[in-house]
Amino acid sequence: MTAAPNPRYAKSREMFARASRVIPGASQTFSKSHIAYPEGQAPLFLSHGKGSHVWDVDGNEYVDFVNGLLPVILGYDDPDVTAAVVDQLGRGITFSLATEAEVRLAERLVEIIPCAEKVRFGKNGSDATAGAVRVARAFTGRDRVAVCGYHGWQDWYIGTTARHKGVPQATRDLTSPFPYNDLEALDRALAAHPGEFACVIMEAMNAVEPAPGYLQGVKDIAHRHGALFILDEIITGFRYALGGAQDLFGVTPDLASFGKGMGNGFPISAVVGRADVMAQMEDVFFSFTAGGEAVSIAAALATIDKVQRENVVGHLWRQGGRVVTALAERIAAHGLGDVLSVSGKPCWPLLGIQDTPGATAWEIKTLYLQEMLARGILVQGGLNFSFAHDDTDIDSLLAAYDDVLPMIALAVRDKAMAQFLKCDPMRPVFRVR
Ligand SMILES: Cc1ncc(COP(=O)(O)O)c(C=O)c1O
């Protein structure tokens, strides 16, 4: 099928053509690009956002459940963050020496994150995970790394995925993925190279709940093999609990990486951890021109204050809980239990889609996105809630499900996907969760 362009997205298509002439991929981020959405049936460029809503370049309005891939934890143009940022803009952005605000932000993280005794700041989540891994290598004098989950764009991690083009084989050889909730597999992976693993780094949870004792088991196995235990809290930080998944699950890692929600969209991240390990940062090269950039530090201080003051975590769990319950009911009511599933914690639920005899998972996902977007719901596989999502936004989401789930049910049951899809099915591009 040739994609039939939808006039609703005419300006997005024009801008895509223009961007493609000067920007490879026409976007800075795979998951924000045309490969993440149904061809010709999705907006590709946004113009602005306010609270929980965004507008595309065609003027279409959406309730945004992507939220910049999760950093927007309070909402767009949050008044408290904007005020703090405007104030800082008038006083300077990137200075020639460290500032007092860096100290204050580090003190705040030490207060709220269980493992944090010392802190260094980065800009992207990948800075924080790469920094933690380099520190672990320095501390242990070892090279190998065991990984579980997604940890960013840098060589040491991305070399383990299908998107490893450009990563040297020698680097790829040093990183071993291990499966979630399988302590024996981890033990075997570490035992395969005795005395060589510097660290085990993982997301504490994304779609699947940790089995009882699993996270503590990972920590124990890592330590038994002389490796450090690192939690990647780029998503879970300030979302699962104020102090992240380690706070929620009660398992304290040696090091952890935070980012995303920390600055409500401003580029800031942090490596935090045990004082004796973080002491390596005195010598390890984790140093860049925009380190300590003051506007993002001001944004992070304002964001964290608000997350704590307004019990934002409680709001995310409450709104998410409402959606998870309602969505599960609707999935059952439409007989889609073998097609769709909701997993993850309510503060960050993930919609799973299975292949069925009537349609492939990618056909179903394409139809789902095509129709949710047409109804003004910007969404991907996860539901990325923010403090700005009010009851009306949740009602809009549920109303869209009420329209779209019956269509999916019909398309699957009658093997009639071709009648519903207005474009070719999306193709798997990159899957790590
Ligand atoms: C768990 C996790 N770790 C690390 C990263 C990398 O963060 P960034 O894209 O900000 O470099 C991400 C990004 O999605 C993530 O989800």
pLDDT band at 428 (very low <50, low <70, confident <90, very high): confident
Q: pLDDT over 90 for what percent of the chain?
A: 97
Average pLDDT over residues 167-178: 98
Strands 175-177 and 197-202 turn out to be unpaired
Mutate to test the pocket of ligand 1, among 27, 30, 129 (most ligand atoms within 8 A of CB): 129
pLDDT tens digit string along 318-367?
Answer: 999 999 999 999 999 999 999 999 999 999 999 999 999 999 999 999 99
**Whole-number average pLDDT of the chain:** 97
pTM of the model: 0.97
Q: What tokens were used for 49?
A: 């956002």
- Cα 316 to Cα 336: distance, rounded to the nearest angstrom: 26
- Cα 172 to Cα 151: distance, rounded to the nearest angstrom: 14
pLDDT tens digit string along 247-283?
Answer: 999 999 999 999 999 999 999 999 999 999 999 999 9
Domain 7-76+312-420 part of CATH 3.30.1330.10? no
Residue keyed to tokens 């401003």:
266
Q: State whether residue 146 is helix, strand or coil.
A: strand
**Ligand 1 close to Cβ of residue 150 (< 6 A):** yes
Specify the residue with its C-alpha closest to ligand 1, atom 10: 125
pLDDT tens digit string along 294-315?
Answer: 999 999 999 999 999 999 999 9
CA 249 – ligand 1 centroid, Å: 21
CA 232 – ligand 1 centroid, Å: 9
**Ligand 1 close to Cβ of residue 381 (< 6 A):** no
pLDDT at 4: 73
CA 80 – ligand 1 centroid, Å: 25
- Cα 325 to Cα 341: distance, rounded to the nearest angstrom: 12
**Ligand 1 close to Cβ of residue 336 (< 6 A):** no
Stretch(es) of the chain classified as CATH 3.40.640.10: 79-309
Choose the weakest-confidence range: 2-6, 31-35, 38-42, 174-178. 2-6
CA 7 – ligand 1 centroid, Å: 34
CA 6 – ligand 1 centroid, Å: 32
- The CA distances from residue 322 to 244, 329, 398, in Å, are 22, 11, 10
**HSE (side-chain half, CA atoms, 13 Å) at 147:** 26
- Cα 78 to Cα 303: distance, rounded to the nearest angstrom: 9
Specify the residue with its C-alpha closest to ligand 1, atom 3: 151
CATH number belonging to domain 79-309: 3.40.640.10
pLDDT band at 1 (very low <50, low <70, confident <90, very high): low
- What residue type is assigned to position 403 of the chain? D
* Of the candidates 306, 296, 224, 293, the residue with the CA atom closest to the CA atom of residue 267: 296
Q: Indicate which atom in ligand 1 lies nearest the CA of residue 259.
A: 10
Q: Does residue 56 have a pLDDT over 80?
A: yes
Q: Indicate which atom in ligand 1 lies nearest the CA of residue 71.
A: 10
**Ligand 1 close to Cβ of residue 145 (< 6 A):** no
Neighbours of 361 (CB within 10 A): 16
Q: Indicate which atom in ligand 1 lies nearest the CA of residue 29.
A: 9
CA 233 – ligand 1 centroid, Å: 9
CA 125 – ligand 1 centroid, Å: 5
Q: Does residue 388 have a pLDDT over 80?
A: yes
**Ligand 1 close to Cβ of residue 234 (< 6 A):** yes
pLDDT at 356: 96
CA 127 – ligand 1 centroid, Å: 9
Q: Indicate which atom in ligand 1 lies nearest the CA of residue 152.
A: 6
pLDDT tens digit string along 106-146?
Answer: 999 999 999 999 999 999 999 999 999 999 999 999 999 99
Stretch(es) of the chain classified as CATH 3.90.1150.10: 7-76+312-420
pLDDT at 2: 55
**Ligand 1 close to Cβ of residue 129 (< 6 A):** yes
**Ligand 1 close to Cβ of residue 151 (< 6 A):** yes
